[in-house]
């Protein structure tokens, strides 16, 4: 049995993670912590799943690593500098591993993978992410990561910057620039989490679209991460590394 703790246990995703861990034959839910609860309850866990908030996730991660607990993190807000900080903590605490994934949905991971594969064939790529209005961060972690993967593919293929003749714009009208890729964020009541990657070339376009219909869709990926994190040395970023893509 894997002893699992959950941080953000009363949140939209945390509730689903607790249910999934509870239902798994090979896991025991030893701690379910939310804001204001003492974190020490997590000492009984081997693996901790974090779905909290970008403002608190670094403190949570530090606690886990320093207490020999392997974190599996779905919380977003990670940039290169935060990831380097986590790598430093892990280097100081050998034997502890961490998995951070901007999206644990299998279809979302495939969408990112397909975008990365397709990017080198197109002059233009832009990303539209659409989420519920209670989301704290923009752009979404998934969109940020997709843009980085697209940019990496374009660099490897030696592509020129994307054509864009805009010389006059209202601030924000062209979205955020993530590694040279434009990302547009929609916050709309009724939505959960959705993303389109638009790829354009000479006389044709390709649109990759992913839709999250319910938050239980994240739990198979989370459980996979919980089962595997102890055997993944150091920091792993992205669920794709656990899938045979």
Ligand X SMILES: NC(=O)C1=CN([C@@H]2O[C@H](COP(=O)(O)OP(=O)(O)OC[C@H]3O[C@@H](n4cnc5c(N)ncnc54)[C@H](OP(=O)(O)O)[C@@H]3O)[C@@H](O)[C@H]2O)C=CC1
**Of 42, 45, 74, the residue nearest 215 (C-alpha):** 74
Q: Does 236 bind ligand X (CB under 6 A)?
A: no
Count of Cβ atoms closer than 10 Å to residue 232 Cβ: 15
Which option in ligand LZUJQKHR, ligand X, none does residue 101 bind, with CB closer than 5 to 8 A by kind? ligand X
Q: Is 61 a residue that touches ligand X (CB under 6 A)?
A: no
67 lines the binding site for ligand LZUJQKHR (CB under 6 A): no
Cα dist from 147 to 62, 167, 207, 240, whole Å: 27, 23, 15, 16
Look-up of token digits 């939505």 = 191
By CB under 6 A, tell whether 19 contacts ligand X.
no
Run of H or E residues at 146: helix 141-156
Quote the DSSP letter at residue 182. Answer: E
Is there binding between residue 217 and ligand LZUJQKHR (CB under 6 A)? no
> Which of ligand X, ligand LZUJQKHR, none does residue 131 bind to, with CB < 5 to 8 Å depending on kind?
ligand LZUJQKHR
**Per-residue string for binding with ligand LZUJQKHR, 81-120, x by CB under 6 A?**
---------------------xx-----------------
Least Å distance, CB 8 to ligand LZUJQKHR, is 11
CA angle, corner 45, sides to 39 and 50, nearest 5? 60
Strands of 235-237's sheet in order across:
27-33, 2-7, 47-50, 70-73, 98-100, 235-237
Q: Which parts of this chain interact with ligand X (CB under 6 A)? A: 7-8, 10-14, 33-35, 51-54, 56, 74-76, 101-105, 141, 218
């Amino acid at each position: 049995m894997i002893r699992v703790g959950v941080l953000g246990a009363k949140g939209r995703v945390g509730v689903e993670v607790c249910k999934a861990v509870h239902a798994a034959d090979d896991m025991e839910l030893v701690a379910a912590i939310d804001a204001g609860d003492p974190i020490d309850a997590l000492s009984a866990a081997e693996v901790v799943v974090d779905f909290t908030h970008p403002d608190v996730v670094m403190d949570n991660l530090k606690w886990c690593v320093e207490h020999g607990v392997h974190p599996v993190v779905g919380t977003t807000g990670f940039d290169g500098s935060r990831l380097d900080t986590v790598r430093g903590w892990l280097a100081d605490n050998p034997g502890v591993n961490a998995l951070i994934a901007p999206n644990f949905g299998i279809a979302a991971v495939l969408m990112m993978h397909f975008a990365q594969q397709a990017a080198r064939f197109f002059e233009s790529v832009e990303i539209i992410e659409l989420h519920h209005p209670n989301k704290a961060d923009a752009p979404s972690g998934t969109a940020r990561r997709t843009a980085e993967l697209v940019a990496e593919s374009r660099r490897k293929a030696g592509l020129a910057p994307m054509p864009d003749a805009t010389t006059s714009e209202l601030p924000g009208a062209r979205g955020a620039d993530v590694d040279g890729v434009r990302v547009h964020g929609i916050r709309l009541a009724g939505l959960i989490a959705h993303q389109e990657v638009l790829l354009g070339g000479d006389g044709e376009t390709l649109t990759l679209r992913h839709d999250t219909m319910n938050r239980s869709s994240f739990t198979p990926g989370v459980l996979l991460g919980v089962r595997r994190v102890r055997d993944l040395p150091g920091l792993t970023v992205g669920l794709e590394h656990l899938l045979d893509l």
